[in-house]
Structure 1
Amino acid sequence: MQKDRLQKMMMLAMMIALDVVLSPLFRIEGMAPMSSVMNVIAGVLLGPFHALVMAFFCGVIRMLLLGIPPLALTGAVFGAFFAGVFYRWTGKIYGSMIGEIIGTGIIGSLLSYPVMVWFTGSQQGMYWLIYTPRFIGATLIGSAAAYFVLTVLKQTTVFRRCQQLFGGVKINE
């Protein structure tokens, strides 16, 4: 029981570290496809709750250390949560990918507008769908990359063991 809890915390910390380190390295201006990669992997590996926790802490760390605006939170948390939920519903990587696209690409992008209006104090040059094309583009790129990573990872014993630890569903494809 205590050992499982410790292993969960270590896996969660490792996923947070990977996301914080990889997201700025493979960043396209206005897009964070590596964040989508990590959200899909976390949704499959950790499940909805722990994926949400991972995305939240990653967003806060990136905001504090890298000066990224609150978009780091509004985009990532919904995508990570829905990636986990859709994966649990379907048991397929595609489910997690669709959850990420809906959560980050649609819900996160639409919620980013009022957050950024509040954050910047200005509506000049901003409209409701300003973030949607970039967020959807990033989620499509990130989800496709996550698919290839997960197809390799699913064959490893360590990945399956970690997935079991978090009560995950085996990948059916």
Structure 2
Amino acid sequence: MKTNQLQIHKLTVLSMMIALDVVLTPIFRIEGMAPMSSVVNILAGTIMGPVYALVMATVTALIRMTTQGIPPLALTGATFGALLAGLFYKYGRKFYFSALGEIIGTGIIGSIVSYPVMVLFTGSAAKLSWFIYTPRFIGATLIGTAIAFVSFRFLITQKFFKKVQSYFFEERID
């Protein structure tokens, strides 16, 4: 495939993943939790790898913050999870590694980083724990991981999924 054509395919898939995340996350939202963001992060990591998954999560978070009034938690929560989901999948070559990357990235790292960001954002240095967001973030990632698992089991059987995955990975990864 020509380089320009491959880049167009990659950008098209990236755009579709951003659109899915922007549309699905507020529809299936539990107050303080965004499990669909975890679903899309895991699928983006398995389809596009770490760099494109990180770009997808960052752009999605910025869109959600500006159009839906979501606080910076959208940015701190999603970006670490998407990056680690892609990295763990790339090197582990299994869905379970991508899910683990999302749980560690969003559920633990993202939740801890969210505390100082929200202190800066709100101007309040309330005596809260650095782990104030951790239970909700881990809960959302576990719900999202379960949904992503079902989705991935279906997608991996599709020829189209494997073809799209081959755009981003030199060899197809199961």
Is the alpha carbon distance of 1:133 and 1:168 closer, same or farther for their aligned partners in structure 2, counting shifts above 3 Å? farther
**How far is 1:127 from its partner?**
2.0
Q: Which residue of 2 aligns with 1:124?
A: 126
TM-score (norm 1): 0.97
Q: Which residue of 2 aligns with 1:87?
A: 89
Is the alpha carbon distance of 1:118 and 1:67 closer, same or farther for their aligned partners in structure 2, counting shifts above 3 Å? same
Retained in 2: the 8 A contact 1:93–1:171?
Answer: no
Query: Structure 1 CA distance, aligned partners of 2:122 and 2:111?
Result: 16
Q: 2:76 aligns with which of 74, 77, 81?
A: 74
Moved over 3 A (4+): 168-172
Q: Which residue of 2 aligns with 1:34?
A: 36
Is the alpha carbon distance of 1:110 and 1:168 closer, same or farther for their aligned partners in structure 2, counting shifts above 3 Å? farther
Q: Which residue of 1 aligns with 2:64?
A: 62
Question: 5+ residue gaps in structure 1?
Answer: none
Q: 2:53 aligns with which of 46, 51, 54?
A: 51
**How far is 1:144 from its partner?**
1.1
Is the alpha carbon distance of 1:92 and 1:169 closer, same or farther for their aligned partners in structure 2, counting shifts above 3 Å? farther
Q: Which residue of 2 aligns with 1:149?
A: 151
Number of matched pairs: 172
**How far is 1:123 from its partner?**
2.1
Q: Which residue of 1 aligns with 2:117?
A: 115
Q: For residues 36-87 of structure 1, what are the alpha-carbon distances to aligned partners after superposition, in whole Å with 9 as ceiling and x for unaligned?
A: 0000000000000000000000000000000000000001000000000000
**How far is 1:167 from its partner?**
1.2
**How far is 1:89 from its partner?**
1.3
Task: State the one-letter code of the partner of 1:15.
Answer: M
TM-score (norm 2): 0.96
Question: 5+ residue gaps in structure 2?
Answer: none
